[in-house]
Amino acid sequence: MKLMLALDVMSKNEALKIAEETKDFVDIIKIGYPLVLSTGIEIVKEIKNKTNKEVVCDFKVADIPATNEKIAKTTLKYADAIICQGFVGKDSVMAIQKVAEEYGNKGAPKKVIMVTEMSHLSAVEFLQPVADDLAKMAKELSVDGVVAPSTRPERLKEIKEIVGDIPIISPGVGAQGGDLDKVLEILGDNDYVIVGRGIYEHNNPKESAKHYKKLISKN
């Protein structure tokens, strides 16, 4: 099982410092609007240069196909993977997959990761009732990964059963209170545990990343 660092800090210096400090224990780095809107998309290149890790842009893209295509082109020029929402429907996700295919190559494929059920409390209001269908769509489209919640292990398990061998990327342990032990019972070698604040808000991000990596690797 792999550790994905959610680097949701707002300054370039802090981002690069934490990325470099934690790189020996982190498998892949996820950034999103907080960092990219504060510093610009070029930060992806700088993180990659500093760490030699893949960078995922968590933009939860949710627009019409024509706009999704433009967002994906700008993002995948820099990033290795992009996260999109599935609730907008198949054509919007496929527009991103088309860009990923065009921009990637065998040695450096570009990946499309789709959200099923989110990890926060209110995800149960609108998203949870359709999350199984979203997971089925993710399987049908053969996306490269799906996001499913560590905050609800029973749902994580159900979604994993639907998507089969598609890697799961799971946020919710650490600051959101997800139970890592339960999550470790469900996820497998190709899946990712996402930790953000539990690492970058820790007084020693390197030690925290080391701690999470050790816990995850024990399984």
Output the known binding site.
8, 30, 58-67, 119, 171-181, 196-197
Q: Please state the closest distance from residue 107 (CB atom) to ligand XMP, in A.
A: 27
Q: Exactly one of 2, 23, 53, 58 is catalytic; name it.
A: 58
Residue 60 catalytic?
Answer: yes
Cα–Cα dist 109/89, whole Å: 23
Q: Please state the closest distance from residue 197 (CB atom) to ligand XMP, in A.
A: 3
Is there a contact between 63 and 70 (Cβ–Cβ < 8 Å)? no
Q: Exactly one of 60, 98, 157, 206 is catalytic; name it.
A: 60
> Count of CB atoms within 10 A of residue 67's CB?
13
Residues in contact with ligand XMP by the rule CB under 6 A = 6, 8, 32, 58, 60, 83, 115, 118-119, 147, 149, 171, 174-176, 194-198
* Residue nearest ligand XMP (C-beta atom): 196
- Side-chain-side CA neighbours of 116 within 13 Å: the count stands at 32
HEC string for 61-118: ECCCHHHHHHHHHHHHCCCCEEEEECCCCHHHHHHHHHHHHHHCCCCCCCEEEEECCC
- Residue 16 or 118: the one with the smaller Cβ distance to ligand XMP is 118
> Count of CB atoms within 10 A of residue 41's CB?
16
- Residue 196 or 205: the one with the smaller Cβ distance to ligand XMP is 196
- Residue 81 or 194: the one with the smaller Cβ distance to ligand XMP is 194
Instruction: Give me 204's structure tokens.
Output: 């020693």
Q: Please state the closest distance from residue 97 (CB atom) to ligand XMP, in A.
A: 17
> Among 191, 210, 215, which residue's Cα sits nearest to residue 199?
210
Q: Please state the closest distance from residue 154 (CB atom) to ligand XMP, in A.
A: 15
Q: Exactly one of 27, 48, 50, 63 is catalytic; name it.
A: 63
Residue 189 catalytic?
Answer: no
Residues that are catalytic: 58, 60, 63
